[in-house]
Structure 1
Amino acid sequence: MRRRTFLGMSSGLGIVATGMVSTPAVAGGRRPDAIVATDGSGDHSGIQAAVDAAPAAAGVPYVIGVRPGTYLGQVVIPATKPNLELRGLGRRPDQVVIADDRANGTPKPGGGTWGTSGSASVTVDGAGFKATNLTFANLFDEAAHPEITGRQAVAVLTRADRLVFEKVRFLANQDTLYVNSSAAGVIARVYLRDCYVEGDVDFIFGRATAVFDRCRIHSLDRGSTPNGYVTAPSTDITNPHGLLFHRCRFTSDAPAGTVFLGRPWHPSQDPNAIGQTVIRESWIGAHIPEVAWTAFGTWPWEEARFAEYRNFGPGAIVSDNRPQLTAEQAASTTVEAFLSGSDGWNPARC
């Protein structure tokens, strides 16, 4: 049975151990407008109740402070609730856990199954959403449910624009973080800084423009070969910006050479989903093989937009099978270039 480990510490379901630097209880920003606490000492005892009570169409941020505890149940941030912030009030991200435990193939009440999108513990459709200093998890137990073959179990699904995650952990196995948009060809930007993402198969995927800045990307050892795939981008051909990893660390306890950096996902065999993953100035562990990218079904990786630039570490091999950006290309493949859009958005300055 697979167990999640974090910085050498067994964390069971991954909701206790953390390697992040402690953060003040109310670090940065305005005071919370509402408090969630499991013991009833706040304004709400559940996350969804706090979201439901937040003002609609808010033009300024509305901060929901979450006291330490584990909050179970699906959470949906609707499009009618923009500019919400979930702020963990513990000293570390592991002290506030927001989680659910359903998978793609989990039966729904009334018939059918949840599907990949429906499995998400947290779904974000509200633009301008921010999360800081907490953990999102999907606790679906694959070993306990051998009868469920659809094991995609999403911790967070995003479909909105101008989202920020800072000092946040994302925990699951297959399909942990689904960065998507409301429709093909629609731009949805996500900025993640100092975050931790773990999983095994396609655990960072979708068509959004998502920048991972100084994050740790951890591949679980699922005891097979291949051991998994880090990314599965489905970037629309009209979008020049897909997934960017800047100064990140790619780690794993899996054997050397058993995990691929990515494969190109074409949802419903969409030929216009020309996925992009760019990894630059990042440390890559030995779990990544010399041929770091692979096909997804009949779709060859060579036709996707995969590239690296000035990576280092035992898995950062420069060869004909590892496309590299030129210095000129790298100059325009930056955090700011990916996120700025037509409105000049630059959350990295904050």
Structure 2
Amino acid sequence: MTVVAALLAALLSAPGAVARAQGPAPGAGATTWTDKPDGFAALAGGTTGGAGGKVVTVRTQQDLTAYASAPDPYIIRIAGSIDVDPFGSDIVVTSNKTLIGVGSTAEIVHGELHLNPGTHNVIIRNLTIRDSYVEGDWDGKTQDFDAIQMDSVHHVWIDHNTFTRMGDGLLDIRKDSDYVTVSWNVFKDHNKAFGLGWTDNVTTNITLHHNWFTGIKQRSPSIDNAAHAHLYNNYLSAQYRDEDPVWTYGNWSRGRTKMVIENSYYDGIRNPYQADETAELVQRGSIARDTTGRHDTQGEAFDPRDFYPYRLDPAAAVPALVKRFSGPQSGLGTDTVLRVAADGSGDFRTVQAAVNAVPAGNDGRITIAIAPGTYREQVRVPADKPRLTFLGTGRDRGDTVIVYDTPAEYGGSTGSATVLIAASDVTARHLTFVNDFDEAAHELNGEQALAMKTTGDRIVFTDTAFKGNQDTLMTDSPKLTTISRVYLRDSYIEGDVDFIYGRATTVIERSTIKALSRGSDSNNGYITAASTWKGNPYGFLITRSRIVSDAPDQTFHLGRPWHPGGEPDAIAQVLIRDTWLPAAIKNSPWTDMGGFPWQEARFSEYRTTGPGAAPSADRPRMTDADAAGHEVADYLAGSDGWAPQTQ
């Protein structure tokens, strides 16, 4: 294997090796991409698009036109193919917008995205824009049907798109536009691909990197009167050739442009890079294979690192990288990130504001990334906002805390909960949820005060903490006969009375549960209060975990059967399995509740250990045969094969 081949193999095989500002996130594989630009679009306040606005999904020209031209910020997810009518029509994009295709199949056909003068802060990503070409008009003189045209705009990021067979140019950046980055796009099968200028002013600052120009005759790109044009790691191949030697070229530094080209790859290109007498062009590190004509360099241009940091890929690796990762990606647009930071550095200052930005009926994964800090608020996730991920971005789950102090006397369990998740398919990671209601300060005792209540299905908590006293964590379902499933792993739960309760099928794995002392020398509380529907064989499973306590020996129960409102069909099922128990656990660990004897519930232990696991006639043990049907997968699989424990 040659040195170049070995280098290329290493680049494409090492996890996260191709990571960069618009490349896969380190260690995340090739389908996870950042949503922040680099290059000039990141300067002078940056380009954030529709961040801070609502997220919408559009499938029709009518909806795309309405949201793209609206005065408010929007993150517009484009799903499927939108055929623009009349042929060649403009879709106007106003300021503070993100247009992003959902996966690799979103496209705009026969139409143009148009940014009028004064437009700013726009992101266009992960789209194919194609086919407004008028047969016989190779020079684009009949109709001005570009893929994207912008005029006197600033702060625009064009990323991971494919542009092909349009009526004039593919990308047209006009008249003093500024702070633009064009990255990871495919320009193909066209005459005039990409032009910039149409002004006497030397204004534009633009970065182009990791773009693939293939089957293009000219303008790959042509840049006129740009203050600074930084082109790196671009790939030009399969150039369209005719008998015109002058107007067949790759990069052209025109007018008074200062252009820097680095580590690009030119394969079979006529006039790969050239400059006017008045322009400057510095080229370093590129590979020109089977090229002819002009290879101009003149002047000193500028040093891009005086403006921003960046990382160059080796020129030899560029063709493989760009072929693999340019254009629309299946992993883009499927996960929208909304950032929360109390100091105002994110898209929203509160978690609830981010939830409010999620559209009803959300059909794409939306991550609400929460910066370290304490957020004193109640958060409500309604049932019509599924597929959310709440992600604390600190180094430790204790760095990001959502806390409130409402007791149940103000609206019961629903009104009390610091966080209420009624939606399905919700995940929370690296967070702490707290209800810090102070019973003593209010001269109350035994008052419910929930840190978390869930009623949705397929809820996952990993590396999370739940802190409170009575009724800390309630995992429930919309009604008795509806089965909802909740999975907790590597988490921490503390409380005293019934602090893990409800009727949802709930698995707690590899976690720590702390039973808090209430100061009694006889009864300090109850860990569980399940209300499982009698038709559901699976209630609570606590497995491979550790229960700890600061309560005196023999003063805590493992649980009691909860029959809400005296409901006879709520027959608790709880299994404590492969879990360490402290001395605080009573030898008779289950007890009655509300007149219902614990013996009629489905309580059992299996292979519990520790000083609190002493044998007793009053603690049922599950047999090996029954335990074989009470594994984590049995509790969670349901009819859809849900298996969060494998992820």
Same fold? TM cut 0.5: yes
Structure 1 segments (4+ residues) deviating >4 Å = 26-32
Larger RCO (alpha carbons 8 Å, 6+ apart): 1
Alpha-carbon separation, structure 1, partners of 2:610 and 2:364: 43
Query: What letter matches 1:268 in structure 2?
Result: G
Indicate if the aligned counterparts of 1:104 and 1:150 stay in contact, CA closer than 8 A. no
Task: Select the residue among 214, 218, 230 that pairs with 2:514.
Answer: 218
Task: Select the residue among 402, 405, 421 that pairs with 1:98.
Answer: 402
Q: Determine the structure 2 residue equivalent to 1:5.
A: none
Indicate if the aligned counterparts of 2:342 and 2:375 stay in contact, CA closer than 8 A. yes
Partner of 1:70, secondary structure, is strand
Alpha-carbon separation, structure 2, partners of 1:299 and 1:179: 21
* TM-score normalised by structure 1 residue count: 0.88
Deviations 1:258-278, CA, capped at 9 Å, x for gaps: 000000000000110100110
Task: Select the residue among 331, 339, 343 that pairs with 1:35.
Answer: 339
Cα distance, 1:55 vs structure 2: 3.1
Task: Select the residue among 567, 576, 581 that pairs with 1:270.
Answer: 567
Q: Determine the structure 2 residue equivalent to 1:331.
A: 628
Indicate if the aligned counterparts of 2:446 and 2:470 stay in contact, CA closer than 8 A. no
Alpha-carbon separation, structure 1, partners of 2:482 and 2:569: 13
Indicate if the aligned counterparts of 2:557 and 2:586 stay in contact, CA closer than 8 A. yes
Indicate if the aligned counterparts of 2:563 and 2:594 stay in contact, CA closer than 8 A. no
Query: What letter matches 1:197 in structure 2?
Result: I
Q: Determine the structure 2 residue equivalent to 1:301.
A: 598
Task: Select the residue among 26, 50, 61 that pairs with 2:354.
Answer: 50
Q: Determine the structure 1 residue equivalent to 2:384.
A: 80
The 5 Å alignment of 1:121-160 reads 121-146=418-443, 148=444, 151-160=447-456
Determine what percentage of the aligned residue pairs are the same residue. 49
The 5 Å alignment of 1:108-257 reads 113-146=410-443, 148=444, 151-224=447-520, 225-257=522-554
Alpha-carbon separation, structure 2, partners of 1:59 and 1:342: 21
Q: Determine the structure 2 residue equivalent to 1:290.
A: 587
Alpha-carbon separation, structure 1, partners of 2:632 and 2:584: 26
Q: CA RMSD in A?
A: 1.6
* Alpha carbons of structure 1 residues 27 and 196: separation in structure 2 relative to 1, 3 Å: farther
Cα distance, 1:60 vs structure 2: 3.0
Alpha-carbon separation, structure 2, partners of 1:320 and 1:168: 36
* Alpha carbons of structure 1 residues 142 and 27: separation in structure 2 relative to 1, 3 Å: farther
Partner of 2:612, secondary structure, is coil
Partner of 1:41, secondary structure, is coil
How many residues are paired up? 318
Query: What letter matches 1:35 in structure 2?
Result: R
Alpha-carbon separation, structure 2, partners of 1:348 and 1:56: 28
Alpha-carbon separation, structure 2, partners of 1:39 and 1:119: 27
Partner of 2:645, secondary structure, is helix
Q: Determine the structure 2 residue equivalent to 1:68.
A: 372
- Which range moves more in the overlay, 128-137 or 55-64? 55-64
Structure 1 gaps of 5+ residues are 1-25, 106-112
Partner of 1:345, secondary structure, is coil
* TM-score normalised by structure 2 residue count: 0.48
Query: What letter matches 2:509 in structure 1?
Result: D
Alpha-carbon separation, structure 2, partners of 1:287 and 1:202: 16
Alpha-carbon separation, structure 2, partners of 1:58 and 1:69: 27
Structure 2 gaps of 5+ residues are 1-25, 35-335
Partner of 2:630, secondary structure, is coil
Indicate if the aligned counterparts of 2:367 and 2:389 stay in contact, CA closer than 8 A. yes
Query: What letter matches 2:510 in structure 1?
Result: R
Indicate if the aligned counterparts of 1:103 and 1:150 stay in contact, CA closer than 8 A. no
Q: Which has the larger radius of gyration?
A: 2
Partner of 1:302, secondary structure, is helix
Query: What letter matches 1:97 in structure 2?
Result: V
Alpha-carbon separation, structure 2, partners of 1:78 and 1:72: 19
Q: Determine the structure 1 residue equivalent to 2:578.
A: 281
* Alpha carbons of structure 1 residues 341 and 317: separation in structure 2 relative to 1, 3 Å: same
Partner of 1:268, secondary structure, is helix
Cα distance, 1:149 vs structure 2: 5.4
Alpha-carbon separation, structure 2, partners of 1:266 and 1:313: 30
Cα distance, 1:27 vs structure 2: 9.2
